């Protein structure tokens, strides 16, 4: 693996080019702001899933009865619900507020699914069924998992993300991530593979301090992705000195830099 180094960037471009399309600064900012919002939403959902799963596994009686979980956001709260094996009842419901690591409320009384939960379940299961089709090129790597997030896009569409995760120490599992757009019945209408493979960031073997990590995107994936942001926010806390990551886009000949503290994406043109 190539040695990771810290980059210094200068020169903000007034115009950038992407797949023969020109973006002004304001247009690019609008695009990146939208990606940032989506990335933060994915993080909120995955953060809640991480912490609720630890608690749920501690309840062996319930965890042995569960098939899978669903996550969804309402206003400033995120719910993680664990379904029984028939997927027709909720066994446990964990409510998180403002990305907390501990749930603000835990309910373990069996109940029916709400309308939203039924819709998310239906879409998720239908999308998973279609992922067997080789055209989607969905695969996994040893030591990594694919976590599934389904969320409403609008009244007629849903988004289902597959994001890589790992229990390996000293690894940020960038890459091997997907987005599937489906109708409300779960039939896939569009899909995108953000990275061609898994591209993990590893802790330096020589004990050096890791200040920034970077990877590049293909021309058909010109922007930093919401999955990049979600993954970085989840795993960066395990690297105390790591506060930024960047993505180089040959399509716009620029680096997009995400800063964890400021929660912002800046753009620096490649010299």
Express each pLDDT in 64-75 by its tens digit.
999 899 999 998
- CA-nearest of 85, 144, 75, 127 to 110 is 85
Q: Over 70: is that where the pLDDT of 168 sits?
A: yes
Model confidence band, residue 270 (pLDDT cutoffs 50, 70, 90): low
34: part of which helix (H) or strand (E)?
A: helix 25-58
Express each pLDDT in 94-143 by its tens digit.
999 987 889 999 999 999 999 999 999 999 999 999 999 999 999 999 99
Residue pair 177/194 in contact (Cβ under 8 Å)? The answer is yes
The 10 Å CB-count burial string (b at 16+, else e) for 171-196 is bbbbbbbbbbebeeebebeebebbbe
Model confidence band, residue 16 (pLDDT cutoffs 50, 70, 90): very low
102: part of which helix (H) or strand (E)?
A: none
Across the chain, what does the average pLDDT equal?
A: 89
Average the pLDDT over 168-192 and give the result: 96
Q: What is the dihedral of CA 191, 192, 197, 202, to 10 degrees?
A: -120
- Predicted confidence at residue 41, as pLDDT, reads 97
- Predicted confidence at residue 12, as pLDDT, reads 29
CA 253 – CA 247 distance, rounded (Å): 11
66: part of which helix (H) or strand (E)?
A: strand 66-74
Q: Over 80: is that where the pLDDT of 14 sits?
A: no
Counting residues of the chain whose pLDDT is more than 70, the rounded percentage is 90
- Predicted confidence at residue 226, as pLDDT, reads 98
- Predicted confidence at residue 206, as pLDDT, reads 64
CA 255 – CA 223 distance, rounded (Å): 9
- What the block records as the tokens of 31 is 């695009």
Lowest mean pLDDT among 80-84, 161-165, 240-244: 240-244
CA–CA distances in Å: residue 122 to residues 117, 142, 150, 192: 9, 29, 10, 21
- Predicted confidence at residue 15, as pLDDT, reads 41
Helical H segments across 180-247, by residue range: 226-235
**C-alpha torsion sign, points 177, 179, 184, 186:** negative
Q: Over 70: is that where the pLDDT of 63 sits?
A: yes
Largest CA distance in the chain: 59
Q: Over 50: is that where the pLDDT of 2 sits?
A: no
Compute how many other C-beta atoms are within 10 angstroms of the C-beta atom of residue 67. 12
- CA-nearest of 188, 192, 70 to 126 is 188
β-bridge partners, 184: none
CA 125 – CA 145 distance, rounded (Å): 18
Q: Over 80: is that where the pLDDT of 3 sits?
A: no
Model confidence band, residue 1 (pLDDT cutoffs 50, 70, 90): very low
252: part of which helix (H) or strand (E)?
A: none
Question: What is the number of H-type helices and E-type strands within the chain?
Answer: 4, 17
CA 16 to chain centre: 26
- Predicted confidence at residue 7, as pLDDT, reads 27
CA 175 – CA 68 distance, rounded (Å): 24
Model confidence band, residue 4 (pLDDT cutoffs 50, 70, 90): very low
Residue pair 51/96 in contact (Cβ under 8 Å)? The answer is yes
Counting residues of the chain whose pLDDT is more than 90, the rounded percentage is 74
Lowest mean pLDDT among 173-187, 195-209, 212-226: 195-209
Average the pLDDT over 263-267 and give the result: 95
């Amino acid at each position: 693996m190539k040695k990771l180094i810290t980059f210094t960037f200068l020169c903000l471009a007034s115009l950038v080019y992407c797949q023969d399309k020109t973006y002004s600064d304001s247009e690019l900012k609008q695009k990146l702001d939208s990606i940032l919002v989506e990335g933060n939403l994915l993080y909120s959902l995955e953060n809640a899933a991480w912490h609720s799963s630890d608690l749920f596994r501690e309840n062996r009686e319930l965890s042995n009865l569960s098939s899978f979980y669903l996550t969804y956001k309402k206003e400033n709260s995120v719910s993680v619900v664990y379904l029984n094996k028939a997927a027709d009842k909720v066994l446990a419901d964990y409510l998180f507020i403002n990305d907390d690591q501990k749930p603000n409320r835990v309910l373990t009384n069996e109940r029916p699914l709400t309308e939203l939960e039924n819709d998310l379940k239906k879409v998720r299961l239908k999308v998973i069924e279609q992922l067997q089709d080789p055209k989607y090129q969905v695969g996994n790597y040893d030591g990594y998992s694919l976590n599934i997030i389904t969320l409403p896009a609008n009244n007629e569409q849903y988004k289902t993300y597959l994001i890589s995760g790992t229990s390996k120490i000293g690894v940020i599992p960038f890459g091997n991530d997907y987005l599937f757009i489906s109708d409300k019945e779960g039939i896939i209408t569009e899909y995108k593979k953000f990275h061609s493979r898994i591209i993990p960031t590893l802790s330096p073997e020589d004990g050096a301090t890791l200040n920034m990590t970077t990877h590049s995107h293909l021309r058909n994936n010109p922007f930093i992705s919401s999955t990049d942001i979600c993954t970085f926010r989840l795993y960066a806390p395990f690297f105390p000195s790591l506060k930024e990551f960047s993505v180089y886009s040959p399509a716009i000949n620029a680096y997009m830099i995400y800063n964890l503290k400021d929660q912002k994406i800046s753009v620096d043109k490649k010299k």
